[in-house]
Structure 1
Amino acid sequence: MLSSKRVVLPLVRSSFLPGKAKETIEEIEDQELAQIAWAEYYFFSAKAKECVEIVEKYLNHEDVILRLSADMLYTFSNLTLGDAFAAQCAREDVYRCFEKIMKENTLIEEKASCVFAYYVISIFIHIPPQEEIPPLEQYISYLPIGQRLFAISLLAHQTYLKQEYAKAKGIVQGAFFMADGIYPIAMTYLNCVQAMCQINLKEQEEAIQSVDYAWQRAKLDGFMEPFIEYHGLLQGVLEVCIRKKEPDVYKKLMDGVIAFSRGWMKIHNPKMQKEVTDLLTPLEFSIAMLACRDWTNQEIAEHLGLSVNTVKHYVSGILEKLNIDKRDKIKDFVNQ
């Protein structure tokens, strides 16, 4: 059973067996915290509308923990729903909470929650933290283990974005060693980041194993959101693991990928003249990600389980849709 002490994202904090998320939430005695946990459940299950309906009433709550949780969930849910303005407002409120809490004589755990929330919305949207934000590493030890593991996935993701793939992979592996139980949400994100690193280290089989391991457990609770968020960076691994085996699930995942990517671009790259997520299918986007990293058609074909001629056809179609004449120009259209 969860502790009665309030923490941000209580479901992320929870240790439970895969498939037992609902039972875990039902054990939470604090009704407001339980509502946040249900919102998390809907968010990670790719039900953004249901998540927003719950957290709206907590956006201005006097309890900073409930408010921060609501802000994070509201930000990402509204990206999927296409409301970039609402997402931006909630993202900015996290910083306002941070400013307020860091100036007050509050518990170090509350300050850690504020720093954690700020890094969640910064790293996932690829917006560098402001200079006055202290390093996440300074506060990570004050977080409950579930959030700590999730925070480590953020640090690994941040290291990945610096193209330090072996180091990022080592951070993930260290997190798995420190876990004292099963934390399905955090561990799903850790496995996805590990797979991203393995892909760039040309460890394709290991990447497939990482994603498949995470997916087989996450799907027991319907947790699709991590795979939606990381689809582009997983560069075709979802196609390998899910597309042929579970076509109906794959279609639902791809609908989520397109919706999330469009919202993400509205915040991250609003001046881009061509909406890449409107032009390319998820599979084409995966091929574009690999092609712009100098993978050969043969390597892409082997990675995705396609023929070389099929890959050539897709690459030609990508160039035509983007109205460019050279493969190396794809980099201009794909956020890394």
Structure 2
Amino acid sequence: MTENTVLPLINTAFEPGNARKAAESFADRDFREIAIAEFYYFTGQAQKCSDLVEIYIMSSRLELKLSACMLYVYSNLTLGNAKASERGLEIIRECLRKEMEAPTSERNTAYCVFAGYMGTVLLHLSTEELPDMKKYMSSLPQGLRIFAANVISHDLYLKGEYSRALGICDAALFSRKEIYPVGMIYLYCVTAMCEISLKNQAEAEKAILTAWKLAVKDELIEPFIELHGLLQGLLESCIRKENPEMYRKISDAVITFSRGWMAVHNPASDNPVTDALTTMEFSIAMLACRDWSNREIAEHIGVSLNTVKHYLTDIFNKLHVKKRDELKNFVLK
């Protein structure tokens, strides 16, 4: 059953392998176009997504406007167009400001808060001035509640509150009544991020493989592009050898997404990491600066100890650093 909501495809339950069919099932032409744009975005077709949603970013219908802006922000990050992403963020912030000053409905307020959080947390920007997302969860439909749980747990992950983040992920996954693949992929990815940060490798691998199983039939690769660095080598250890073609697509997109992300997140930085390191090097750098030993990194990623040493030497040379602690200035931002 489809519903004309913000991000209608995220809010739609469907069996893996039917994402395109679900996107095309909306009777309303405009919501169908937004759902197809979501499909383009999550399958790594950022340009098609951006082109399709641009006409809706100033729509008079709030659901269309917020959906278009969120997709416009993230598709243009993937394309490396930071200014376009900033434009989308500004429209979202203005919608939120107006709705909080003069609320139009409980659901519209929830939509605006949801969009504000999605455009802030996933870019690692401060949420201090935002309303509390948890207070508005009950006003969101089921699929968006699942995705909102992902955003809240991601925020807790960034604060180092891994156990609380895992609790929210588990509760959201347990309480669902149907399969909402997009939101569930993100929840399992956040679960994997938390578990690997706690060095629970087996649980992290289980979570990332569950996310991959939900994604692979529809080639929903964008979550793995967005979260590559935070997954800390899990794609390299679990996906690279088993599905080299899909891994290559992810790797090709990671660099441009990271450049766009850095331009929005820290525009004053002259930090060259997104240009200097390959995706494998970035994963190893993330693990190294989180106090993983060379042997632990080698076992986790599935390469030899000497290979890790060679990678680290190249990383240090490229970033002009001499010790692991200095890597934090580049990858833990």
Conservation of the 8 A alpha-carbon contact between 1:80 and 1:256? yes
**Larger displacement relative to structure 2 (265-274 or 139-148):** 265-274
Structure 1 residue 102 displacement after superposition: 2.5
Counterpart residue identity of residue 63, structure 2: I
Deviation at 1:227, TM superposition (A): 0.4
Specify the SS of the correspondent of 1:316. Answer: helix
Which residue among 2, 14, 17 is the counterpart of 1:16?
Answer: 14
Equivalent residue number for residue 230 of structure 2: 233
Aligned position for 2:134: 137
The residue type equivalent to 2:173 in the other structure is F
- Show the counterpart of 1:262: 259
Counterpart residue type for residue 122 of structure 2: F
Aligned partner of 1:124: which letter?
Answer: L
Structure 1 residue corresponding to 2:56, chosen from 32, 55, 58: 58
Q: How do 1:27-176 residues align onto structure 2 when only pairs under 5 Å count?
A: 27-131=25-129, 133-176=130-173
The amino acid that maps onto 2:33 is: Q
Deviation at 1:272, TM superposition (A): 2.3
Question: What amino acid sits opposite 2:271 in the alignment?
Answer: K
SS of the residue 1:10 aligns to: coil
| Residue 308 of structure 1: aligned partner | 305
Given residue 41 of structure 1, which amino acid in structure 2 is its aligned partner?
Answer: F
**Cα displacement (A) at 1:246:** 1.4
2:242 pairs with 245, 249, 254, which one?
245
Matched, 1:220 2:199: no
- How far the C-alpha of 1:247 sits from its partner, in A, is 1.3
Per-residue deviation at 1:130?
4.8
Q: Whole-Å Cα distance in 1 between the matches of residues 329 and 100 of structure 2? A: 39
Q: Normalising to structure 2: TM-score of the pair?
A: 0.98
C-alpha distance in 2, partners of 1:105/1:69?
A: 19
**Structural RMSD (CA):** 1.1
Q: Assess if the C-alpha contact under 8 Å between 2:57 and 2:65 holds in 1.
A: yes
User: Does residue 324 of the first structure (1) align with residue 321 of the second (2)?
Assistant: yes
Shift in Å, 1:159: 0.6
Cα displacement string for residues 216-266 of structure 1 (whole angstroms, at most 9, x for unaligned residues)? 220111100000000000000001121111112111110111110010011
Measured in 2, the distance between the counterparts of 1:166 and 1:59 equals 37
Q: 2:287 aligns with which of 278, 286, 290?
A: 290
Q: Is the 8 A contact 2:24 2:36 kept in 1?
A: no
- CA distance in 1: counterparts of 2:311 and 2:299, whole angstroms: 14
Partner of 2:2: 2
- The AA in structure 2 aligned to 1:89 is R
Q: Distance in 1 between matches of 2:157 and 2:318?
A: 29
- Where does the alignment leave 5 or more consecutive residues of structure 1 unmatched? none
Q: CA–CA distance in 2 between the matches of 1:313 and 1:230?
A: 25
**Corresponding residue SS for 1:272:** coil
Q: Do the aligned residues in 1 keep the contact of 2:123 with 2:261 (CA within 8 Å)?
A: yes
Distance in structure 1 (CA, Å) of the matches to 2:265 and 2:272: 12
Q: Distance in 2 between matches of 1:126 and 1:274?
A: 16
- Checking the alignment, whether the CA contact within 8 Å between 1:101 and 1:111 is kept in structure 2 is yes
Paired residues of 1:166 and 1:201 also in contact (CA < 8 A): no
CA-to-partner distance for each residue in 1:25-56, whole Å, 9 max, x for gaps?
22211111111000000000111100011101
| 2:9 partner SS | helix
Counterpart secondary structure, 2:322? coil
Q: 1:258 to 1:46 in 2, by over 3 A?
A: same
Q: Which amino acid in the other structure matches residue 211 of structure 1?
A: I
User: 2: distance between equivalents of 1:165 and 1:47?
Assistant: 32
Query: CA offset at residue 271 of structure 1?
Result: 2.3
Give a deviation string over 1:251-301, Cα, whole Å, max 9, x none: 111011111001001111222223201100000000000000111001111
Deviates more, 1:242-251 or 1:6-15: 242-251
TM-score by length of 1: 0.97
Which letter maps to 1:110?
N
Deviations 1:143-191, CA, capped at 9 Å, x for gaps:
0110001000111111111111122111111111111110000000000
Q: Tell me the distance in 1 between the aligned counterparts of 2:73 and 2:103.
A: 28
| Matched AA of 2:240 | R
SS at match of 1:233: coil
CA contact (8 A) 2:107 2:139 kept: yes
Residue correspondences, number = 333
Residue 330 (structure 2) aligns with: 333
Secondary structure in 1 aligned to 2:239?
helix
> 1:105: Cα distance to partner?
4.5
Q: CA deviation at 1:310?
A: 0.9
